[in-house]
Structure 1
Amino acid sequence: MKIFFRRIHLYLGIAAGLIIMITCLTGAILVYEKELMKLFNHSRYYVAVQPNRLSTDSLINRLKTQEPKASVQSIKIYNNPESTVEIAFTAQKGKGNKAAAGAGEKGKAGQTEGTRLTAFMNPYTGEVAEIYNHRESFFYWVMDVHRWMLGGKIGKMVVGVATIFFLIIIITGIVLWWPRNKQILKQRLKIKADAGFKRLNHDYHVVLGFYSSIFLFVLAFTGLAWSFEWFNKGIYTVTRSTMERAKPLKSAASIDSLNRIGTEAALSIVHSLAPTAHYYNISLPKQAKDAYAISLLSQQAEHESASDTYFVDAYKGNLLGKQLYTDKNLGQRVRATFKPVHVASIYGHTSKIVGVIVCLLGTFFPASGIIMWWNRTRKKRKTA
């Protein structure tokens, strides 16, 4: 029976090995994306604290003075007084102000119509620290490789199928690892450090493969949610939950947008209810009846995706309601947990360190497996 599992393990490894290696390597890089971005682009994310902060409305107006044709979608404010404010906007037809291009990873000026950009602004001086295009960054390229192999829908399917193969490889690997007796068990739980290359390669593959198998399985399993819609639907089917999200609340009446309250007024209402949140992300109304939607991450949040959303009437300035993470159905909460689990941020730096090590091992295993197969093939040829 093990011969059957060994062949599946081998053939799927050969078929998907390269994709698995690339996916794991890029995954290891992406684990610390946020930390590395802040490390190498400090002026983009941090400013010196000053006595007085400008209002969110003032920051938006200052951006529009510099980028007259900018269409602002949202503004994100952090509770950390040293953090810049992030304004997400779409660059309309015409060139941007070249002075806005910061000295960070890539300051983008002269953007074309429809380009989604983020302005990082000093909340005390109103200065634009940098206008940033994430799609032209190094980490977006790494994500493109990780999720789509630079191949769009076809690449997405290739990664998805390779991930399914990887799950089968892990399962068959555990079957092949399973020892017949205690003596073999001891051999498969430790590496013979003083052995030659062939034995070391074998031990690294077998022993480290066993220790990392559960983590690799979880990372691969959660990754399927970004490759297949049927997998997402399956989450809601298994949890007996509805996939439909709660609809955003609307303002009471359709009134001239000139009478609309500002973002600062909307923020103050929500801030009074949740004053210690990590951040507040204000989505501006798109239509006349739309309300301000303010998402925040509370100090008590289970993970980075466990955000709450408050709705403020854009004209009367009253709280219309809230959609809390804890009020979501089981399927929605399970699906929301997939991202922090997949990117290994669920338990902070501890899980991130584990995530990087496991991903690097995932990069190594296909190569070590091929070496094992090659050595076994050469041995058979010599004895033939």
Structure 2
Amino acid sequence: MKIFFRNIHLYLSLVSGLIIAVVCFTGGVLVFEKELEQAWHPERYQVAPASTPRLPLAQLTEAVRAYKPQATITGLKVYADPARTVEFSLAGAPGGPGGEQKGEDRKEGRPEGADRASEGRGGERGGENSKAEKGEGRGGKEAGKGGKGGGGEGGRGPTVFVNPYTAAVTGELNYRETFFFTMMALHRGMVGGPVGKLVVGVSTVMFLFIIGTGIVLWWPASRKVVKQRLQVKWSGGWKRLNHDLHIVLGFYSALLLFVFAFTGLAWSFEWFNKGIYAVTNSPMERPEPPVSALPAGTAAVLPATPEATPSTDDAVVAAPSAPALSADAVLVQARKIAPAAVYYALQLPKDATGSIRVATLRPNAVYENATDEVYLDQYSGSVLKSQTYEQRNLGQRVRGMFKPVHTGSIFGWPSKIVSLIVCLLGVTFPITGTIMWLNRLKKAKKKQRKLATAA
């Protein structure tokens, strides 16, 4: 029976070993993406707190508009930390890099305007498969279309960082132009388009079988062998050392590698995500966001279909009798609702009926994107709808845990360090395994030559 499992382990490893090594290496690089990004560009994220109060968001908005006159501001993020900059999310030009990025945000189920760098990997990225994270952020159709409540025209553009005390623009982040986007694209096979993503997904499935068969092959036949399977014999020859590095370290890292591979399937296969919601008996689609009550005398031009946009033949939209709330007023309202939040992410409406979405993160949140959300009427500021993280359905909460588990950020720095070590070990296993296979082939050939000579 072990010969059967050894053959499965060997041939699957030979087919997918190179892909697995690349995925493990890039995954290790992405573990500390957030920390490295902020260390390389501290001016974007950190400022010296001033004794004077922060400037109004309206003044910061004007500074961003002066810096990017043609861009549309889709959202902003204000941190409670006085040493953090204010982050403005901009819409990109249709068909340009921003448009592509918007597609990636949609695939991750991330709210448009969310800053990928401040949330870590994507996506990576994160993130980054069709409808993969409908349970997170705005999700699904809404994130793709801008929804009733936000977005902006023309795709996702850069994030602009502004000093809240001086209104000076301190930096700009175009995620698609960064080193980490390249690593994420390699990690998920996006460099090869849909075929590349499929190859990575299939290789990940193979990796699960490789780990399973590896545990079967590791399992000692007697108690005397257990000690040998749990300790690396550093004093042995290079063949024995290579053997132990593969067998012993493979056993210690098997569980985490299995977890990383299993959660990684969520970014490769839509059926896997549907399975999460099916198993948890939860709806995958999120309801449309609420709409704002149009003031008297306002006539809104709305497209006939969600995909359509108003044409030049549409009637002119009448000016509302009451102005929409300013970002400062929304922030005041958000602070009343969640006074102890780590940050306040405001997603602005894209039309006259849209609502303002405010996402807040509690200091004791389960993970970085375990946010509470509230929708406000853009004219009156009244709460139209609210949902805490605990009120998300089970499928959304389970799916939301995949990213922090996959990236190793679930327990902060300790789990990230362990994840980095395990990922680096994952790079070595295809190499040590191949060496073991070549040594066996060489040994078998020598044995055949001896038998031939004896005959």
Query: Above 0.5 in TM-score?
Result: yes
In structure 2, distance between residues paired with 1:148 and 1:56:
40
Aligned residue number for residue 146 of structure 1: 187
| Match status 1:200 vs 2:264 | no
Distance 1:149 1:90, change over 3 A: closer
Q: CA deviation at 1:131?
A: 2.0
Q: Which amino acid aligns with 2:65?
A: K
In structure 2, distance between residues paired with 1:225 and 1:114:
24
SS in 2 for 1:241: coil
Q: CA deviation at 1:347?
A: 0.3
SS in 1 for 2:439: helix
Given candidates 366, 374, 379, the residue that maps to 2:438 is 374
Q: CA deviation at 1:229?
A: 0.2
In structure 2, distance between residues paired with 1:155 and 1:334:
27
Aligned residue number for residue 40 of structure 1: 40
Is contact 1:86–1:119 with CA below 8 Å preserved after alignment? yes
SS in 1 for 2:191: coil
Given candidates 350, 369, 393, the residue that maps to 1:286 is 350
Is contact 1:340–1:346 with CA below 8 Å preserved after alignment? yes
| Match status 1:31 vs 2:72 | no
Q: CA RMSD in A?
A: 1.4
Q: CA deviation at 1:149?
A: 5.0
Is contact 1:305–1:339 with CA below 8 Å preserved after alignment? no
Aligned residue number for residue 222 of structure 1: 263
Aligned residue number for residue 87 of structure 1: 88
SS in 1 for 2:350: coil
Is contact 2:93–2:157 with CA below 8 Å preserved after alignment? no
Q: Which amino acid aligns with 1:26?
A: T
Given candidates 272, 289, 296, the residue that maps to 1:231 is 272
SS in 1 for 2:230: coil
Q: Which amino acid aligns with 2:326?
A: G
Higher mean C-alpha deviation, range 371-380 or range 322-331: 322-331
Aligned residue number for residue 294 of structure 2: 253
Q: Which amino acid aligns with 2:87?
A: E
Unpaired runs of at least 5, structure 1:
94-112
Q: CA deviation at 1:252?
A: 1.9
For 1:1-384, list aligned pairs within 5 A. Answer: 1-50=1-50, 51-92=52-93, 116-253=157-294, 255=298, 256=319, 259-384=323-448
Q: CA deviation at 1:115?
A: 6.1
Higher mean C-alpha deviation, range 246-255 or range 174-183: 246-255
Structure 1 outlier segments of 4+, above 4 Å: none
In structure 2, distance between residues paired with 1:166 and 1:91:
38
In structure 1, distance between residues paired with 2:155 and 2:335:
32
Deviations 1:30-52 (A, max 9, x none): 00000001111111111111122
In structure 1, distance between residues paired with 2:342 and 2:181:
25
Q: CA deviation at 1:8?
A: 0.5
Q: Which amino acid aligns with 1:205?
A: H
In structure 1, distance between residues paired with 2:363 and 2:288:
25
Is contact 1:46–1:84 with CA below 8 Å preserved after alignment? yes
In structure 2, distance between residues paired with 1:63 and 1:214:
47
In structure 2, distance between residues paired with 1:65 and 1:349:
39
SS in 2 for 1:199: helix
In structure 2, distance between residues paired with 1:276 and 1:227:
37
Q: CA deviation at 1:253?
A: 2.1
In structure 2, distance between residues paired with 1:92 and 1:371:
51
Is contact 2:346–2:358 with CA below 8 Å preserved after alignment? yes
Is contact 1:311–1:321 with CA below 8 Å preserved after alignment? yes
In structure 1, distance between residues paired with 2:230 and 2:351:
62
Deviations 1:150-200 (A, max 9, x none): 111111101000000000000000010111110111110111110011001
Is contact 1:269–1:319 with CA below 8 Å preserved after alignment? no
In structure 1, distance between residues paired with 2:429 and 2:92:
45
Alignment: residue pair count = 365
In structure 2, distance between residues paired with 1:358 and 1:3:
27
Deviations 1:255-297 (A, max 9, x none): 4467101111111111112112111110000121111101111
SS in 2 for 1:376: helix
Is contact 1:69–1:92 with CA below 8 Å preserved after alignment? no
Is contact 1:189–1:207 with CA below 8 Å preserved after alignment? yes
Q: CA deviation at 1:321?
A: 2.3
Unpaired runs of at least 5, structure 2:
95-153, 299-318, 449-455
Is contact 2:44–2:172 with CA below 8 Å preserved after alignment? no
Q: Which amino acid aligns with 1:148?
A: G
